[in-house]
């Protein structure tokens, strides 16, 4: 590795069993993430370096931030609203769709809808559901065992989705007005030697950053054709997800998994600065 290569830095090491869904709150200067199998949601204040557990309970597979700053937690059988200030919870909706074990990775769209992936009870029973502000829900992607990272392009006309089951990233046409996605096609197929495609985010140039479970890395893919532009190696195998945050959205925060060994870095949250690379603010949900 040359001196110019970016090096991941440890931000927080709480030895999470399965840290996922890192989400930056630019207003408060805080980073949130869920420890899925640990049954917890954490926040980290970047300026003070203070880390707090703000939720403990049933599994949270993913979450979004509402327009007013509350968090929407997508659990096994329901969606609840969490006030980070005092920890109060309020149920928003039930979820009892057959063939699904739990939610896994969610994202808000430009109009406040939420696209929520699931893990299926079989290799094809999982998918993606869209929750609209009017209270309706519809299934928009089917046929996967493990749905994962998603993103929208800057022009709000394309939608990326990860199928971890087949180690693929898909690209869809997206209609912001209706929330509909169409014309799904495989955009990138991972090889056997690079780990499983997991969580992802999109940078200001519409390039995709894809975390690789059991791949020891995160990879940047070109916006036009998915070719690999660069990769950054990590000292842990299970790099699970990535988001942009920090000053001017110039830092990537990455979650990892496998924190059973208290002496290892597995399950830590890492910070990564790549010169010239910045992100865009995440959209906020408007379901409550």
Longest Cα–Cα distance of the chain, Å, equals 52
CA distances 186 to 83, 109, 151, 225, 249, Å, are: 38, 21, 15, 11, 29
CA distance 269 to 32: 10
Phi/psi of residue 249, nearest 5 degrees: 55, 40
CA distance 193 to 163: 17
Phi/psi of residue 248, nearest 5 degrees: 55, 25
Angle at 168 between CA 162 and CA 174, to 5 degrees: 50
Catalytic residue (choose from 105, 109, 198, 266): 198
CA distance 241 to 19: 8
132 is catalytic: no
CA distance 250 to 61: 26
CA distance 84 to 258: 26
Tell me the sheet residues that pair with 72: 64, 81
Name the residues annotated as catalytic: 198
């Amino acid at each position: 590795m040359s001196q110019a290569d970016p090096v991941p830095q440890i931000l927080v090491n709480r030895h999470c069993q399965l840290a996922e869904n890192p989400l930056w709150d630019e207003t408060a200067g805080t980073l949130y993430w869920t420890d899925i199998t640990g049954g917890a949601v954490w926040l980290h204040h970047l300026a003070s370096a203070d880390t707090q557990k703000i939720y403990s309970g049933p599994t949270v597979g993913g979450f979004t931030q509402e327009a007013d700053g509350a968090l929407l937690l997508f659990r096994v059988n329901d969606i609840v609203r969490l006030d980070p200030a005092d920890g109060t919870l309020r149920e928003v909706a039930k979820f009892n769709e057959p063939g699904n074990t739990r939610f896994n990775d969610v994202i808000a769209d430009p109009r406040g809808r939420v696209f929520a992936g699931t893990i299926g009870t079989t290799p094809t029973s999982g998918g993606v559901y869209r929750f609209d502000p009017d209270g309706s829900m519809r299934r928009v992607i089917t046929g996967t065992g493990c749905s994962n990272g998603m993103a929208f392009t800057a022009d709000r006309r394309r939608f990326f989705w990860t199928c971890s089951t087949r180690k693929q990233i898909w690209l869809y046409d997206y209609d912001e007005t209706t929330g509909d996605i169409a014309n799904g096609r495989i955009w990138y197929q991972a090889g056997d030697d690079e780990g499983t495609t997991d969580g992802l985010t999109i940078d200001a140039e519409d390039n995709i950053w894809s975390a690789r479970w059991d791949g020891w890395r995160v990879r940047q893919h070109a916006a036009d054709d998915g070719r690999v532009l660069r990769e950054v190696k990590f000292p842990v195998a299970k790099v699970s997800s990535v988001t942009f945050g920090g000053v001017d959205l110039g830092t990537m925060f990455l979650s990892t998994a496998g924190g059973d060994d208290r002496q290892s870095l597995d399950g830590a949250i890492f910070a990564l600065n790549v010169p010239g690379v910045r992100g865009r603010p995440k959209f906020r949900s408007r379901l409550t």
